[in-house]
Amino acid sequence: MNNRQTVFLIRHGKTSWAESGRHTGRTDIPLSGEGRREAAILKPVFENVDICLVLSSPLKRAFETCEIAGLSERSRKEPDLMEWDYGAYEGLTTSEIREKVPLWTVFTHPVPGGEKIEEVARRADRVIGEIRRQEGNIVIFSHGHFLRVMASRWLGMDPSCGRFFPLGTSTLSVFDYEHEYPAIRTWNGPLLTSACALSRLEEQSRMKGSEVREQKRG
Pick the catalytic residue: 64, 67, 78, 83? 83
Would you call 83 a catalytic residue per the annotation? yes
- Looking at residue 129, its amino acid is G
Among 6, 54, 29, 9, which residue's Cα sits nearest to residue 170? 9
- CA 152, CA 109: separation in Å to the nearest integer? 17
Choosing from 12, 23, 143, 145, which is the catalytic residue? 12
Q: Residue 173: which H helix or E strand, with range?
A: strand 171-178
Question: Phi then psi for 137, rounded to 5 degrees?
Answer: -80, 150
CB 121 within 8 A of CB 150: no
**Is 143 a residue of the active site?**
no
- Specify the DSSP element, H or E, that contains 67: helix 60-68
The residues that are catalytic are: 12, 83
